[in-house]
Amino acid sequence: MATPTHNRGTHNSSGSNKPNKFTSAGAAAGGFVGGLGSSIAPPINITLNRTTNNGSGSGGGAQGNRPHSEALLPSPEFASPAQVRQYCNTLRTAAVTLSIEVAMGAEILKGVLAAVPDPQGRAFGSRIRAQKVARKMQRSADSLRDAAKNAAACYSAFQQEFEEEINRVRHRARRPQVPQMNWSQQ
């Protein structure tokens, strides 16, 4: 009868001749998860949209493909309450979007500038200088957020101040009432 032999690499650290049953368990689990991982990965869809600006505008060069302010806001024609509402809503939407973008830019700027070594070798010197610079950009983001609030407040003030004129037009715009037959007169 053959006696079982143990591999020397499977002995535990106490020095006994018992094999360590957990040494190959990690490898087995890793192989299982690795093999299974590709089968349960969620599908990823990537959609690319490319917008080309074929208009010939002024200011070529690096910013030739950037949208101009005319692309952000409609023309300021206020011939009806609907145009006032549309302009204020578009301004509010653009200001909120720009506010978020500028706030993210401020955080990125602060992180990049904090990594620059301080010339005097002060501890946290670069972080303090980066915070001073990024604070100005953060204030720009706050101002854009305030612009969005003021755009919404503008339309609200318009509705309050010109309520009588708006209601007068709304009254005329309603459907005329159909004459009712009076059955009591016979």
- Output 114 or 2, whichever has higher pLDDT: 114
Residue in 168, 159, 181, 160 with CA at minimum distance from that of residue 82? 159
pLDDT, averaged across the chain: 74
Examine the pLDDT at 95 and tell me if it is beyond 60: yes
Q: pTM to 2 decimals?
A: 0.53
| Predicted pLDDT at 141 | 96
Contacts of 150 (CB under 8 A, 6+ apart): none
Per-residue confidence (pLDDT) for residue 37, from 0 to 100:
47
Taking only the tens place, the pLDDT of each residue in 3-62 is 555 555 445 545 555 555 555 555 545 554 445 444 555 566 666 566 665 555 444 444
Gap between the Cα atoms of 57 and 64, Å rounded: 7
Q: 16: buried, middle or exposed (CB in 10 Å: 19+, 13-18, 0-12)?
A: exposed
* Lookup: tokens for 57: 């505008």
Task: Tell me the pLDDT tens digit for each residue of 108-135.
Answer: 999 999 988 888 878 788 899 999 999 9
The pLDDT assigned to 179 comes to: 77
Give the helix/strand (H/E) hosting 9. none
Task: Tell me what pLDDT residue 183 has.
Answer: 77
Question: Which residues in 19-47 are b (16+ Cβ under 10 Å) and which e?
Answer: eeeeeeeeeeeeeeeeeeeeeeeeeeeee
For residue 112, give the H/E element and its range.
helix 81-114
Statement: residue 69 has pLDDT above 90: no
Residue 156 has pLDDT above 70, yes or no: yes
